[in-house]
Amino acid sequence: SGHGAHRGRFLLKLSGEAFAGGGGLGVDPDVVHKMAREIAAVVRDGAEIAVVIGGGNFFRGAELQQRGMDRARSDYMGMLGTVMNCLALQDFLENEGIDSRVQTAITMGQVAEPYIPLRAVRHLEKGRVVIFGAGMGMPYFSTDTTAAQRALEIQAQALLMGKNGVDGVYDSDPRKNPAAVKFDALEYSEVITRGLKVADATAISLCMDNKLPILVFELLAEGNIARAVKGEKIGTLVSD
């Protein structure tokens, strides 16, 4: 296991959408298996990995609100959705022989530990993957913001933002505009002034205020999580 001289501590944000595979809704075990394999490889290599998973494959509060539901209640549904993703990832990590703990911001003792930052750090030091569920536990926040906050609190060296179907940050949507240009590096302020889709503004400003680097990269490309951890030049690096 990764005792002692670890090879860096990272907060990995996984897109909830990616968990659905081609399906759009729910969890595709093949995708989760693939991600677990990639995470297991870097953990065996000595990296400390904490994970935040989105919930877009189940519910997004803002979307339910548009269809007439109360926003806060919809957001709680969104947060509960993320927990299912966490349990799926935990299961496949276990199959890989990697110990993990799920810690949720909404207490649910039968399925997960409560969020206890110091305990999370101890788990990481012991070579366990810590998976943070239920976002911040608060409506009107996102899992991107959760990822930034957790990264800061556990003193991760970078936020690795895994995207579904896009290999970095572009000046316009590459799926709609074939002439879109990819950035290799960006400053936080450019992300905000140009309105680039890296993460929501709350998450970006947290990273900017605390100088936490963000690497935006394609999650599902084989070996990319390892490349991100090793600091290879993939995706787009957002920093000062």
Binding-site positions for UMP: 55, 75, 136-143
Secondary structure of residue 225 in the 3-state scheme: helix
| 133 touches ligand UDP (CB under 6 A) | no
User: Tell me, what amino acid is at 78?
Assistant: G
**Residue closest to 100 by CA, chosen among 131, 79, 121:** 131
Strand-pair category, 182-183 with 169-170: antiparallel
Residue 236 in contact with ligand UDP, rule: CB under 6 A: no
Check binding of 235 to ligand UDP (CB under 6 A): no
Residues with Cβ within 8 Å of 96's Cβ and at least 6 positions away in sequence, in order, are: 36, 37, 39, 40
- Regarding 61 and contact with ligand UDP (CB under 6 A), the answer is yes
State the minimum distance, in angstroms, from the CB of residue 63 to ligand UDP: 7
Least distance between ligand UDP and beta carbon 99 (Å)? 25
Task: Annotate 127-148 with DSSP letters as a single string.
Answer: T-EEEEESTTSSTT--HHHHHH
Q: Taking the complex as a whole, how short is the minimal distance between the CB of residue 122 and ligand UDP, in angstroms?
A: 24
Helix, strand, coil share of the chain (percent; to 5): 40, 20, 40
For residue 55, state whether it binds ligand UDP (rule: CB under 6 A): yes
Which CB sits closer to ligand UDP, 13 or 43? 13
Smaller CB separation from ligand UDP, 63 or 209:
63
CA distance 116 to 51: 15
Which of 108, 138, 192, 220 is in the footprint of ligand UDP by CB under 6 A? 138
Interaction between residue 198 and ligand UDP (CB under 6 A) = no
Binding to ligand UDP in span 10-39, by CB under 6 A: 16
Report in angstroms how near the CB of residue 2 gets to ligand UDP at its nearest.
28
Cβ-based nearer residue to ligand UDP, 48 or 75: 75
For position 139 contacting ligand UDP by CB under 6 A, the verdict is yes
What's the distance, Cα to Cα, between the start and end of the chain in Å?
34
Report DSSP state, residue 137. Answer: S
Is residue 143 a contact point for ligand UDP (CB under 6 A)? Answer: yes
Give the angle 113-43-124 at the CA atoms, nearest 5°: 35
Q: How many residues bind ligand UDP (CB under 6 A)?
A: 21
Cβ 29 vs Cβ 85: under 8 Å? no
Q: Please state, in angstroms and rounded to a whole number, the distance separating the CA atoms of residues 156 and 233.
A: 19
Q: Is the Cβ of residue 16 or residue 235 nearer to ligand UDP in the bound state?
A: 16
Which residues form the interface with ligand UDP (CB under 6 A)? 16, 54-56, 60-62, 74-75, 78-79, 82, 135-136, 138-139, 141-144, 146
